[in-house]
């Protein structure tokens, strides 16, 4: 059983926007040596040719798009390996020195059922991870029932969250970078003049004291399994806040 875990925010957002339209989904199910994208990475293809995501950083996407169109036209799911030992891999531009294996499925009951996108989003909204198992021979995916199931397992984790303490200038740059990467950012500072939407667009603002904010977040179990990043205007450790975030 191979397990994958990647960032799926953009794929899930596109699946919601394109709901009801014919789609195909490509997934990196195996990598060997150098590979631009981790196992579990998706690329979602609309029937009109639009696509979101990547399976190789641009090396083999052209070939994957062609196979996606065949699947959308009624061909069965296809499992394709791209590597330097394969002459065809050089033709589609895989010079990185490794191998990747990509599965292309229709978004349908015969491949990746469309309801899985809703199931994944529901679990992530509740702060829980959800696993989908795929039979690589048949190309059919389903929710993983407990620890049972054979095939490729992809884990869909909750959205990444970042709590920044202190509405200082460096926090503005950090928040902008995090938001651009799909991270759910909360900025905490009780100083109203510092904590403004104009200074921090696209960021959730919280004017509570940091230790109170962390206590609430811990009670909701939103920090479980997450890392804590301390951003302070001085070198003195904010021990109360950090201890509660642990």
Proportion of the chain above pLDDT 70, given as a percent: 78
* pTM of the predicted protein model: 0.77
Q: Is 89's pLDDT higher than 80?
A: no
Query: What mean pLDDT comes out for the span 69-75?
Result: 97
Tell which residue, 13, 169, 239, 158, has the closest CA to residue 187: 169
Q: What ranges do the domains of the chain cover?
A: 2-156, 161-245
* Spatial contact of 27 and 42, defined as CB atoms under 8 Å apart: yes
pLDDT at residue number 95 = 60
pLDDT in tens, 189-240: 999 999 999 999 889 999 998 888 877 665 555 445 555 555 555 555 455 5
Q: Which CATH class is domain 161-245?
A: alpha beta
């Amino acid at each position: 059983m191979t397990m994958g875990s990647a960032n799926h925010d953009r794929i899930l957002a596109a699946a919601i926007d394109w709901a009801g339209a014919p789609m195909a989904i490509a997934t990196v199910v195996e990598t060997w040596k150098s590979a631009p994208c981790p196992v579990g990475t998706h690329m979602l293809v609309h029937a009109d040719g639009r696509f979101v995501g990547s399976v190789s950083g641009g090396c083999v996407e052209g070939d994957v798009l062609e196979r996606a169109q065949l699947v959308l036209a009624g061909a069965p799911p296809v499992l394709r390996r791209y590597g330097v030992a394969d002459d065809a891999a050089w033709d589609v531009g895989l010079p990185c020195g490794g191998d990747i294996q990509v599965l292309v499925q229709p978004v349908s009951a015969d491949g990746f059922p469309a309801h899985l996108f809703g199931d994944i989003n529901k679990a992530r909204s509740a702060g829980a991870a959800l696993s989908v198992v795929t039979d690589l021979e048949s190309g059919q995916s389903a929710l993983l029932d407990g620890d049972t199931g054979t095939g490729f397992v992809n884990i869909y984790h909750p959205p990444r969250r970042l709590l920044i303490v202190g509405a200082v200038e460096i926090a503005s740059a950090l928040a902008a970078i995090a938001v651009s990467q799909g991270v759910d950012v909360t900025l905490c500072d009780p100083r109203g003049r510092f904590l403004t939407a104009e200074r921090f667009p696209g960021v959730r603002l919280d004017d509570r004291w940091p230790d109170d904010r962390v206590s609430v977040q811990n009670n909701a179990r939103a920090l479980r399994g997450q890392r804590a990043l301390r951003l302070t205007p001085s070198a003195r450790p904010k021990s109360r806040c950090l201890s509660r975030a642990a």
